Amino acid sequence: MTGKSAPPAKKTAPAAAKKKAAPAPKEGAALKEEAAPKQEAAPAPVPATEEPPAPEHPLEQPPAPTDEPAPISIEAGAEATPVPAEGSPAEATPVPTEGSPAPPDEPPAPDTEPKLEKPKEEPPSCPLSLAVEEVSENSFTLTWKAPEQMGRASLDGYVVEICKDGSSDWKAVNQEPFLSTRYTIPNLSSGDKIHVRVMAVSASGTSVPATLEQPVLIREILQLPKIRMPRHLRETYIRRVGDAVNIMIPFQGKPQPEVSWTKGGQPLDTNRINIRNTARDTIFYIRQAQRNDSGKYELTVQINGAEDKATLDIQVVEPPGPPQNLKLVDVWGFNVALEWTPPADNGNSEIKGYRVQKSDKKSGKWFTVLERCTRTSCTISDLIIGNTYSFRVFSENICGLSNSAAVASGVAYIEKTKTTYQPEKIPQRDMMEPPKFTQPLTDRTTTRGYSTHLFCSVRGFPQPKIIWLKNQMEIREDPKYIALIDQGVCSLEIRKPGPFDGGVYTCKAVNPLGEASVDCRLDVKGENAL
């Protein structure tokens, strides 16, 4: 036994030398820092502390570390520190021998590398915007929005749970997840306060629940009565006699309000007017309207003393009667004057105007001469001499023209009258005037070989005679010069002037009352000079 314990005693020398060597811990520390990132990626399992082997089997002890593999054992030690044996220092694990304590030694590195675990799939996030849409006396309706993050797996649906106020027992109200973002929870007791939460469910798991901050009180929400009168019924509703009247007026209120109709404070005649009420509207129906159905109808919607009223104004109209007392007032020249009075029956509507027609005896046809005449008199002109005319007038309202017309009892005969034309005497005006230039000549500079014009304007009566002069010498029938006058505008064209055509040009106007003149200077230069 003692012979077998000798080899372990020799192995203590390298361990003691390793303790005295100063650089060994620094090198191990550097390797420890390099191994730090690997530890974060996959931590190695802590090796179990093995009990020291029996003295009779010293060959099974772990081999003594050398200087080269020392950093590897330090790296393994950095991952997990072995548990020291009882009664030995914490720096090294003692190896017992027969008769003497074994020198400290480091545990061996693990034989196998740790396996990387697959990352777990995250569940969906919490549903958004959970709110109560409607509450009744035995149910309420929730709405929400889908979560922002669904996770890798698709969303299976939502689970709704409720809990009464004061209790911690949450119960699911739906057996299977559903994908709708709206849910009505039925079969609740009036007066209860219910807490509610909604969770999103997928193959990855269940989300954090979305919970209402306050419990929901199960009761019917009272709503004051309110009549929503359509826009076209806020004004007078007009129908013709014989037409059907079918009007639907919506209203609101909870619980269902009581609806009543009256006319002039009296109940309606159910033989002529049919009323049908629902929870949200009332229908007013008359099969064939008559003029006595016109008037103001009052609608009242009432709930426990609270009420709302609206007025429906119905006007049943028909065509008016004809005008009255139509007569010829006067006939002169080509003109006829008529007068009449309004009809006795306006058809339960305002008279918009009158239509006047004429008929000559030769053709017998009626022609409209005035439409929508708003007065009860008119004058008809442009009649043909020698013809005999009859006249009639229709009244008009919102329904149209009257069924019959008022016809004038007399006829109008347009006679031919003798007239003498006397022309108007116009006093003679003295138009005589001496010549006067209204636009003088202006100095000009022209290029040799290019024609040029001189212009001025003159007035006078009788029309003055125009004389052109060059350097005080009259220009006479020279083909080089062309003189014109039009509406008092005088012009002189100088064709292809040369250097000797320059000078002072004068325009003189002469008539029996006097004369006038204007002049200008013309300079002719060569092409190179310009």
DSSP one-letter string for 395-434: EEETTEE-SS-EE-SS-EE---------PPP-------EE
pLDDT of residue 294: 94
The total number of residues written for the chain in this structure: 530
pLDDT tops 80 at residue 38: no
Q: pLDDT tens across 441-461, in order?
A: 999 999 999 999 999 999 999
Over the stretch 192-236, which tens digit does the pLDDT of each residue have?
A: 889 999 999 988 888 899 998 889 888 776 788 999 999 999 999
Q: Please report the pLDDT score of residue 505 as a whole number.
A: 95
Distance CA 412, CA 326 (A): 14
Q: CA 17, 22, 27, 32 torsion: positive or negative?
A: positive
% pLDDT > 70, the chain: 76
Q: Distance between CA atoms of 230 and 249, rounded to whole angstroms?
A: 7
Tokens for 130? 């959970």
Tell me the per-residue pLDDT of 337-359, one tens digit each, with 9 for 90 and over.
999 999 999 999 999 999 999 99
Calculate what percentage of the chain has a pLDDT beyond 90.
Answer: 51
pLDDT band at 245 (very low <50, low <70, confident <90, very high): very high
CB 283 within 8 A of CB 246: yes
With beta carbons less than 8 A apart as the criterion, state whether 308 and 226 touch: yes
| 305 band by pLDDT with thresholds 50, 70 and 90 | confident
Residues 6 or more apart whose Cβ sits within 8 Å of residue 162: 170, 171, 173, 185, 194, 195, 196
pLDDT over 60 (residue 409):
yes
CA distances from 113 to 38, 73, 239, 483 (A): 12, 15, 96, 124
Give residue 477's pLDDT band: very low, low, confident or very high (50, 70, 90). Answer: confident
- Torsions phi, psi for 276 (to 5 deg): -130, 125
pLDDT at 145: 92
Q: Which amino acid is at 359?
A: S
Burial class (CB in 10 A: 0-12, 13-18, 19+), 81: exposed
d(CA 451, CA 495) in angstroms, rounded, equals 4
Q: Residue 94 in contact with residue 11, Cβ under 8 Å?
A: no
Average pLDDT score, the chain: 80
Ranking 111-120, 237-246, 387-396 by mean pLDDT, the lowest is 111-120
- What is the predicted pLDDT for the residue at 59? 41
Buried b (16+ CB within 10 A) or exposed e, 263-283: beeeeeeeeebeeebeeeebe
70-79 vs 23-34: helix crossing angle, rounded to 10: 50
Per-residue model confidence (pLDDT) at position 115 = 52
According to the model, what pLDDT value does residue 228 have? 94
pLDDT at 328 over 80: yes
Paired tokens of 255: 């619980």
> In this predicted structure, what is the pLDDT of residue 112?
53
Residues 111-166 pLDDT 10s:
555 555 555 678 888 999 999 888 877 888 999 999 988 877 788 899 999 999 88
Tokens of 217: 């009180």
Band the pLDDT of 499: cuts 50, 70, 90: confident
Does residue 47 surpass a pLDDT of 90? no
| Model confidence at 489: pLDDT above 50 | yes
First to last CA, the chain: 141
The model's confidence at residue 57, banded by pLDDT at 50, 70 and 90, is: very low
**Which pLDDT belongs to residue 45?**
43
All structural domains of the chain: 128-218 (2.60.40.10), 224-317 (2.60.40.10), 327-414 (2.60.40.10), 433-525 (2.60.40.10)
Taking phi first (over 0 means left), then psi (-120 to 50 degrees means alpha), and beta for anything else, what does residue 11 get? alpha
Kindly report the pTM of this predicted structure: 0.43
Mean pLDDT of the region 472-489: 91
pLDDT digits (tens, 9 = 90+) for 419-436: 777 888 888 778 889 999
Residues 6 or more apart whose CB falls under 8 angstroms from that of 386 comprise 414, 415, 416
Q: If you ran DSSP here, which 8-state letter would residue 46 be given?
A: P
Report whether pLDDT(72) > 80: no
pLDDT for 375: 93
What would the pLDDT profile of 260-288 be if each residue is shown by its tens digit?
999 998 999 989 999 999 989 999 999 99
Q: Are 378 and 391 in contact (CB under 8 A)?
A: no
The predicted pLDDT at position 198 comes to 93
